[in-house]
Structure 1
Amino acid sequence: MTTVPVNGFDFDVDISGPQDGEVVVLLHGFPQDRTCWRPLTERLNAAGYRTVAPDQRGYSPGARPKAVAEYRLGPLTSDVTGLLDALDIDRAHVVGHDWGGAVAWALASDAPARVRSLTVLSTPHPAAMQRAMIRSTQGLKSWYMGLFQVPHLAETLLAPSRPMWRAVMRGLPADSVARYTANVAEPGALTAMLNWYRAMPRDVVKPSLPMHRIEVPTLYIWGRRDPALGEAGALATADYVTGPYEFVILPDAGHWLPEQAVDDVSAALLDHLATYGASAAEA
């Protein structure tokens, strides 16, 4: 693990793979951390890619501002571009899951010159998500998002000893459950993680970043058994990508794709990276 200073904070980052390999940045979701990517980064490194997986804002102990506004998409995206700058990386393939997927969509929209290709697991394009919330059962699936925005109550219900925390962890490997449970037990950690949800209404009412259609080559992978993110948003995502686009449905996968579906994810991702990597662009 390496500590990288960005935007006045210290981020914990896993960096591995050949130094001359094309860079793949991997952005985790809630309530995971950078370690969720390790089964995948092993395969990426073996294929010659250099991987950069940070604990994002609120998850790195040295990057937990108290103000909810500090967790809007603008600052979260700035952390990623700042990390690229700190590591002297001009362009990278970007992979995101869950909330990390939302950041990845925003980064590809706001700074496409920094994104060689985009891969998002589970999370639909933000505009597709908003559309699905209105026109489908997605609003019912997303009931927990409102709950997570309630100060103190959410922290109480998500305490590691509570049934809701065990429900959130359902389907994850035991070692991941132990690691994430230890993370949320750190003072202030759970509140910082929940601040991503608490900042969300501000971005809906007055976006901190304009959300454009995506021009970079995009791979979107969705598990049909995802209990949190439904089919309507997944299907609508194609309407918000103008660049090359591939949509992969995993019929037997749920939400935790980095841990549960590493074989399928790595196969699709490696093909995507080879198709839109630097060597392919130069050919």
Structure 2
Amino acid sequence: MIDVNGIQLHIAEQGEGPLVLLLHGFPESWHSWRHQFGPLAEAGFRVVAPDQRGYGGSDHPEDVADYSILHLVGDVVGLIRALGEERAFVVGHDWGAPVAWHTALLRPDVVRGVAGLSVPPPFRGGQPPLRTMRERFGGRFYWNYFEEPGVAEAEFTADTRTTLRKLLYSASGDAPGAGRPEQALVDPERGWLTDAADPEVLPAWLTEEDLDRLTESFAPGFTGALNWYRNLDRNWELTAPWQGAVVSPPALYVYGDRDLVPAFPGTPELIDKLPELMPNLRRKPLVLPGCGHWTQLERPDEVNEALLGFLTELRD
């Protein structure tokens, strides 16, 4: 447990050397990086993965406003300092990717290199994202389903283990129809999980023990994790001073070709322009065939190879 910015963060740690922070997404925990710890530590890195605020063994502040992007970046900067370091490599997946990208955007002085899995770098749009999606999809986009306090919580906590199994499987490259260019829309009356794919047998990258462990980490509920989404418009307002700014530290972006996130409205066009928009992108975005949303779980060997190449080059 580490004291950071007035809260406590639970971390897992392995190895010695330059610090690498691994930031998980939704609905996950530090354990989503279980395949990265050994290879990165053996290569001479100090690997630390926190349960981010609102998740697992870390504190779950009650105020929705305590989950803004400035709080989340502040946690990363504070964690680097609390671990006795001045700078770190920052790697994020899903929601962890925007935290990693924004840390590099807002505090490039503490970021030796930044890597994002699934979610590309943030380039601020012309209007608040929750409003944008509400207007585009009539309030049925999953971000908007998460907006109303208590609604998604009630659905997800009715059977936490089933919720996590369905969410993980339905967004993976193994789910029926994975990779089709459809958006994650939710009928508010039916909820998210009613039509979500549910495997008869877990895919090879997710064991029953893994699912048990993740279920245990959500014993406090989903409110903290969902509060991240409830700050999307607030984040848009807070980041106005960085309109037009670029991510300047060395960068790597990896995603699966069956992941729906890179197919979000406007995202394919953004990905095509990344080599122009990011002055220190070290290679073209790496696309993993057959991979869904859970990049480092579904394709650990390819992700480890990409991360090791990126980190070792910058260290040496």
Shorter-chain-normalised TM-score: which range? 0.7 to 0.9
Displacement of 1:160 in angstroms is: 5.4
Question: Gaps (5+ residues) in structure 2?
Answer: 173-204
Does structure 1 residue 241 correspond to structure 2 residue 278?
Answer: yes
Structure 2 vs 1, CA of residues 182 and 72 (structure 1 numbering), >3 Å: closer, same or farther? same
Q: Does the residue aligned with 2:53 lie in a helix, a strand or coil?
A: coil
Displacement of 1:63 in angstroms is: 1.7
Does structure 1 residue 180 correspond to structure 2 residue 214?
Answer: yes
Number of residues of Structure 1 aligned to a counterpart in Structure 2: 268
Structure 2 vs 1, CA of residues 122 and 128 (structure 1 numbering), >3 Å: closer, same or farther? farther
Displacement of 1:128 in angstroms is: 7.1
Write the distance in 2 (CA, Å) between the matches of 1:242 and 1:197: 29
Write the distance in 2 (CA, Å) between the matches of 1:34 and 1:62: 10
Compute the TM-score of the two structures, normalised by the length of structure 1.
Answer: 0.86
Write the distance in 2 (CA, Å) between the matches of 1:130 and 1:164: 34
Displacement of 1:178 in angstroms is: 2.0
Question: Gaps (5+ residues) in structure 1?
Answer: none
Percent identical across equivalent pairs? Answer: 34
Q: Does the residue aligned with 1:155 lie in a helix, a strand or coil?
A: helix
Q: Report the AA paired with residue 161 of structure 1.
A: D
Displacement of 1:228 in angstroms is: 3.2
Structure 2 vs 1, CA of residues 274 and 166 (structure 1 numbering), >3 Å: closer, same or farther? closer
Please name the residue that 1:205 is paired with.
237
Please name the residue that 1:222 is paired with.
255
Write the distance in 1 (CA, Å) between the matches of 2:126 and 2:55: 26
Structure 2 vs 1, CA of residues 9 and 220 (structure 1 numbering), >3 Å: closer, same or farther? same
CA contact (8 A) 2:52 2:58 kept: no
Displacement of 1:217 in angstroms is: 0.7
Write the distance in 1 (CA, Å) between the matches of 2:4 and 2:210: 27
Q: Report the AA paired with residue 234 of structure 2.
A: R
Structure 2 vs 1, CA of residues 265 and 129 (structure 1 numbering), >3 Å: closer, same or farther? farther
Write the distance in 1 (CA, Å) between the matches of 2:275 and 2:300: 23
CA contact (8 A) 2:146 2:226 kept: yes
Structure 2 vs 1, CA of residues 262 and 66 (structure 1 numbering), >3 Å: closer, same or farther? same
- Higher helix proportion: 1
Please name the residue that 2:40 is paired with.
44
Taking the TM superposition and a 5 Å limit, the aligned residue runs for 1:157-196 are 157-159=155-157, 161=159, 165-170=164-169, 171=172, 173-174=206-207, 175-186=209-220, 189-196=221-228
Does structure 1 residue 256 correspond to structure 2 residue 294?
Answer: yes
Structure 2 vs 1, CA of residues 200 and 49 (structure 1 numbering), >3 Å: closer, same or farther? same
Structure 2 vs 1, CA of residues 209 and 164 (structure 1 numbering), >3 Å: closer, same or farther? farther
Displacement of 1:276 in angstroms is: 1.2
Structure 2 vs 1, CA of residues 60 and 183 (structure 1 numbering), >3 Å: closer, same or farther? closer
Displacement of 1:101 in angstroms is: 0.3
CA contact (8 A) 1:28 1:36 kept: yes
Displacement of 1:173 in angstroms is: 0.5
Compute the TM-score of the two structures, normalised by the length of structure 2.
Answer: 0.78
Q: Report the AA paired with residue 168 of structure 1.
A: L
Greater shift in the superposed pair: 87-96 or 241-250: 241-250
Q: Deviations over 1:142-167 (max 9, x none)?
A: 92111112211111222252775443
Q: Does the residue aligned with 2:97 lie in a helix, a strand or coil?
A: helix
Q: Report the AA paired with residue 217 of structure 1.
A: P
